[in-house]
A = this chain, B = another copy of it.
Amino acid sequence: MKISPLQLARYQYAPKLPGMLRNGIAEICVQNGAATESVADQQKVRALFPNTYGKNEITFRKGENTSEARKLTVGVILSGGQAPGGHNVICGLYDALKALNPENQLYGFKGGPSGLLDNNFIVFGDEYIDQYRNTGGFDIIGSGRTKLETEEQFAVVVENCKKNGVNAIVIIGGDDSNTNAAVLAEFCAAHNTGIQVIGCPKTIDGDLKNEDIECSFGFDTATKTYSELIGNIARDANSAKKYWHFIKVMGRSASHVALECALQTQPNICLIGEEVAEKKMSLAQVADMIADSVAARAANGMNFGIAIIPEGIVEFVPEFSVLIAEINELLAGEKTQQFNALPTWAEKYAFIKAGLTEASFSVFAILPENIQQQLFLERDPHGNVQVSLIESEKLFSALVKENLAQRKKNGTYKGKFGTQHHFLGYEGRCAFPSNFDADYCYSLGYNAAMLIQYGYTGYLSKVSNLQAPADQWVAGGMPMTKMMNIERRNGKDKPVIRKALVELDGKPFRYFAAHRDQWAIETCYTYPGAIQYFGPSEVCDQPTITLTLEKA
Chain A residues at the B interface, C-beta cutoff of 8 Å: 1-10, 81-82, 111, 135-139, 142-143, 225, 228-229, 231-233, 235-236, 238-241, 245, 264, 266, 344, 420, 422-423, 426-432, 524, 526-536, 538-540, 542
Task: Give the complex CA separation of A240 and B229 in angstroms.
Answer: 23
- Distance to closest chain B CB from A188 (angstroms): 28
Task: Give the complex CA separation of A530 and B526 in angstroms.
Answer: 18
**Chain B residue nearest in CB terms to A137:** B235
> 30 pairs across A/B with beta carbons < 8 Å?
A1-B524, A2-B266, A2-B526, A4-B231, A4-B264, A5-B536, A5-B538, A5-B539, A6-B532, A9-B539, A82-B235, A82-B240, A135-B235, A135-B527, A136-B232, A137-B238, A138-B239, A139-B235, A142-B239, A142-B241, A225-B232, A225-B530, A229-B427, A232-B430, A236-B426, A422-B427, A532-B532, A532-B533, A534-B535, A534-B539
Residues of B within 8 A of A82 (CB): 235-236, 239-240
Task: Give the complex CA separation of A531 and B232 in angstroms.
Answer: 13
Residues of B within 8 A of A429 (CB): 232, 236
**Chain B residue nearest in CB terms to A140:** B239
Partner of A426, one of B1, B8, B422: B422
B427 engages A233 (CB within 8 Å): yes
Residues of B within 8 A of A136 (CB): 232, 235, 527, 529
Task: Give the complex CA separation of A529 and B224 in angstroms.
Answer: 13
Query: 4 tightest A-B contacts by CB?
Result: A534-B535, A530-B530, A235-B430, A137-B235
Q: By DSSP majority rule, is chain A's interface helix, strand, loop, or mixed?
A: loop
A239 engages B528 (CB within 8 Å): no
Known: A136-B235, A429-B232. A4 touches B527 (CB 8 A): yes
Residues of B within 8 A of A422 (CB): 423, 426-427
**Chain B residue nearest in CB terms to A229:** B427
- Distance to closest chain B CB from A390 (angstroms): 15
Residues of B within 8 A of A536 (CB): 5, 9, 534
Residues of B within 8 A of A137 (CB): 235-236, 238-239, 527
Residues of B within 8 A of A542 (CB): 5
Task: Give the complex CA separation of A241 and B423 in angstroms.
Answer: 20
**Chain B residue nearest in CB terms to A228:** B530
A236 engages B430 (CB within 8 Å): yes
Task: Give the complex CA separation of A42 and B61 in angstroms.
Answer: 81
A529 engages B432 (CB within 8 Å): yes
Residues of B within 8 A of A229 (CB): 229, 427
Residues of B within 8 A of A428 (CB): 232
